[in-house]
Structure 1
Amino acid sequence: MAVREIVTGLPWWVKWVVAPVLVLLLFGGLVAHVVGVLIGLLFKALALVALIGGLVFVVRKAKGSSKSRGDW
């Protein structure tokens, strides 16, 4: 007996309500963990870009004001 035959015989509320609820109950923690890791990585990437941008800004400002004092 194939899975398709089993699913075809079930009522709609089992396929569209009970099955997704069971999947969320069983794998909800895993899904939440994966989403949390992805959000954490995105935050770290944005922080890295901001820090590098700030460093480039500070270095350019320092080089611009150091022309009167000579090169570093």
Structure 2
Amino acid sequence: MGEIFAGLPWWVKWVAVPVIALVVFGSLIVSVLGFVIWVLFKVLVFVALVAGLIYVVRKFTSSSSSRSDW
């Protein structure tokens, strides 16, 4: 791969090739990033809901057990 770029100017390697890659694969990159962000958001919502459920269950079970101690 190095032999291909050996005789070319620096701007071809560091500007033109990445721009062409972004044009060709840009929609794919955006789709993958969007999917990853969507999955992370769903995981965050799931964790928040489970934490809230655990909090509510512990709150009610601790208050009911303290009432039975009376």
Question: How many residues of Structure 1 are paired with residues of Structure 2 in the alignment?
Answer: 67
- What TM-score does the superposition give when structure 1 sets the normalisation length? 0.82
Q: Does 1:49 align with 2:43?
A: no
- What TM-score does the superposition give when structure 2 sets the normalisation length? 0.84
> Identity of paired residues, percent?
52
More helix by share: 2
What is the 5 A alignment of 1:1-72?
3-67=1-65, 68=67
Which segments of 5 or more consecutive residues in structure 2 lack a partner in the other structure? none
RMSD (Å) for aligned C-alpha atoms: 1.4
User: Alignment partner of 1:66: what SS?
Assistant: helix
CA offset digits 1:24-46 (Å, max 9, x no partner): 00001111111111111111111
